[in-house]
Structure formats: C-alpha cells, structure tokens
Structure 1
Amino acid sequence: MRVRGEEDRHGVETWAAGASRPGRPARGARPHRRFGPASSPTRARFREAPRAGKAAALLRACGISGNKVRALQAIVAAETAGLLGPGLAALPHPERAAILCGIRGVGPWTADMVGIFHFHDPDIWPTGDVAAVGCLRRLTGQADTAAVAAAFAPYRSILARYLWRIKDTAPAPADLPADLPTRTEPAPWARRPRGTAKSG
C-alpha cells in the first residue's frame, strides 16, 4: 500500500510505503517531483558532488550517457554562477535562449521547450521540433512553417501545443495491414495515477 510521506527537511517531498527505511523511499515508490529552494541542502550536496568526483559515476550508473552527464554538470555550474536566476523570466525569448544555448548540451530545441513549458512564454515557434513542424507542413502543405506560424503571433506556443495534440491523437494510416494488433485502451504509462483529476 502506498501512503504519502512527510516533506523532508530538504524541501523534497517523498513517497513512502509501509516500513520503508528512514529518509529513503520504499522500493517502487514514486516521488512527487517538487524541489526545494535553490539554497536547500539537497541542491548544495548535488553541487558539491562533481567536485568530489562522485556525480559522474552516480549518473552513469543510472544509465545516463557521458555527454548528458557533462551537460548536467554544465547546467549545475551555470546555476551556481548565477546564470539561471529569476532574471531569465523577464528576458525576451531570443535573449534567454542565447544564454541557455551558451551552456554545454543545451541547444535551440531545449531553449524553446524551457520557454514554452517552464516560463510559459505564449509566443515561441519551435522550429527544431519535428512533430510540430511536420504536422503543420501536412496541414498546410507549406514548407516554410515559420512563415505560416507568424500569422499566429503572439500565440505561437499555443499553436505548437495544438499541433502536438493533433499529432498524438492522429488516427493510424489506412494502409496498415488488417491483421495488425491495435490497442483498445491507453498504454500503461499513459494512465493517470489513481486519485488524480483529469486536466482540462
């Protein structure tokens, strides 16, 4: 049985089940991913880990590639240097993206996703997103999707969200073999956890 645990002193809310060991979620427990303030001991220990030479080995043991480990370490270094402070929210997307893309492993697509989903910028057209660009090309027959999306300014992020939704709900092509098995219910990873409300 899964029960909700108390929020620990580091500001990271954990899940515990039954008699789990103190300070450690039980096997199979799912953490609620809400991180504490930037000054919390949890973040401080993560910043210290690269200097101790332990973070890379720990992340590689989790199956993360060497390039991604180096990118994560670069992001931590950028935060420590103050590049990822609250001032980013006030910047126009091109300026914010230029700062983010200056970090190893962060490219234009990542900067666009951060702008759309973290900063909730309503007017970003993710030119590097294969799904959004491909869907708009199919719907309009136009190769220059940036020009098409310009008509939706200042709500191009909303356009991208609708295109992702269309892509996710598109029916299977009609020329599939008749004997191909089809799924009649959502995939296990797509099911909502019990007790959660459906978003509008």
Structure 2
Amino acid sequence: MSEEIHRRFVEIAGGLSPVLVDALERGGPVAFRADASQPLAERLCRSVAGQQLSVKAARSIWSRVLTAAGSMPLTEFLVETNGEAIRACGLSAAKTRAMCAIAREARAGGLEAGELRDLDHAARSRRLTALWGVGQWTADMISIFYFGDEDVWPDGDVAARKTLSRLTSPRRKTVRTAARFAPYRSRLALYMWRHADAPPV
C-alpha cells in the first residue's frame, strides 16, 4: 500500500515541482502507523502539555505529571483543586486549565474514542476544539496519530507548511497544494516532517 501511494505521490508531484519529486524519491515511501493504546483523554493532555516544547522537555514534564498523580487515575488527578501540584510539574496556568477541562470532559463521558473515531475529521475537530485550550493543531495531531485518519493536512503545523511551500512555490497556498494529494494528506505531512528533519544533501 505504501509503495502504491508513494508512486502516486511522485506522479502528482511531477505536475507541481521537480524539487518536490526529488524530495519524495530520495526519501522513499513513508510508514503510517496510528497508536491508540492510551486513553484519548491522556493522549490529549500529553499533547497539550508538550505544545511549544522540545521533545526532551515535554517528556520530562509529562513524567512529573504521572509521578504527581501516583496511583490515582489521571482524569481524577487533573482537577482544579490540584492546580498547584499540576503547575509544580512545570506547566503554565493555561496548560493546567486546558488539561483539567479535558479531564472534566472525559469524566462526563464526552471523550469516548469509539464515538469520535466514527466522525469525520471536521466533526471530530469541532468536538475537540470546543474544549478550552484545545486548538486545531492538537485536533489534527490526534486525528492523524491517534485515530489514524489518512486525509488530514495540518496547515497549522509550521514545519509541514513551510516545507511544502519551500518544495513547491511560496506563492501557492499549501492547502490547495495538499488537496492534490487527497485522500492521503496525512501521509503528505509525514513526508514533509521527514524531509524537514533530513540532513541537507
């Protein structure tokens, strides 16, 4: 499947930019794997906690959150009355508020993964971004990496957007360019992230 999609991507890229063709061919097919092994609320909280942080810093903070929660279920620990203990893990007041909002929604039964999996990305995004502190970028990442939605273009992700723009044309809107790769736009983002992390040739 990955090989077939890769060939299709190279063909589409041929009508857009030889630089994009070269980038795709040099990297080869990308593997696309979703991971829903954690409860959705926990994954959402971890995503919020790690926003705008390095991977190392995000892991460190999340480890402190889990340690602070101890044997208590995370959605029970993440309540406003524990705000001081949560912030002491290295989280801002805004991130603490967002994580408590996610946990509150989970306790109320509003974050059932099975129900959200049945929605399309637009409807799922509306549900997730209705939570305080959860933006479109987080909704996109959850759709791609948790629910395995293959057709999400995360235009709010700076690395994906800038890489696609650089490999095609800065004058063309990346949303329009990405639309050419439907229904596999999530894979296009994976190609862009891999290229952004690749050492220059």
Q: TM class by shorter-chain length?
A: 0.5 to 0.7
Runs of 4+ in structure 1 off by over 2 angstroms are 48-51
**Hey, what does 2:195 align to over in structure 1?**
166
SS in 2 for 1:77: helix
Tell me the TM-score normalized by structure 1.
0.61
Tell me the TM-score normalized by structure 2.
0.61
1:72 correspondence with 2:99: yes
- Take 1:91 and 1:122, find their aligned partners in 2: how far apart are those partners? 13
Aligned-residue offset at 1:47: 1.7
1:123 correspondence with 2:151: yes
Q: Which structure has the larger Rg over C-alpha atoms? A: 1
- Take 1:46 and 1:84, find their aligned partners in 2: how far apart are those partners? 11
**Hey, what does 1:92 align to over in structure 2?**
120
CA contact (8 A) 2:78 2:103 kept: no
Unaligned runs of 5+ in 1: 1-30, 32-40, 173-200
Aligned-residue offset at 1:42: 3.4
Unaligned runs of 5+ in 2: 1-62, 64-70
More helix by share: 2
**Hey, what does 2:141 align to over in structure 1?**
113
**Hey, what does 1:18 align to over in structure 2?**
none
**Hey, what does 1:82 align to over in structure 2?**
109
More deviation, 163-172/125-134 = 163-172
- Percent identical pairs in the alignment equals 45
- Take 2:196 and 2:108, find their aligned partners in 1: how far apart are those partners? 39
* Number of residue pairs the alignment of both structures matches: 131
Q: Which amino acid aligns with 1:58?
A: A
Render the CA deviation track for 1:29-65: whole Å, top value 9, x for unaligned. xx8xxxxxxxxx732x7426626x2x21111111100
1:50 correspondence with 2:79: yes
- Take 1:87 and 1:46, find their aligned partners in 2: how far apart are those partners? 19
CA contact (8 A) 2:75 2:107 kept: no
- Take 2:167 and 2:185, find their aligned partners in 1: how far apart are those partners? 16
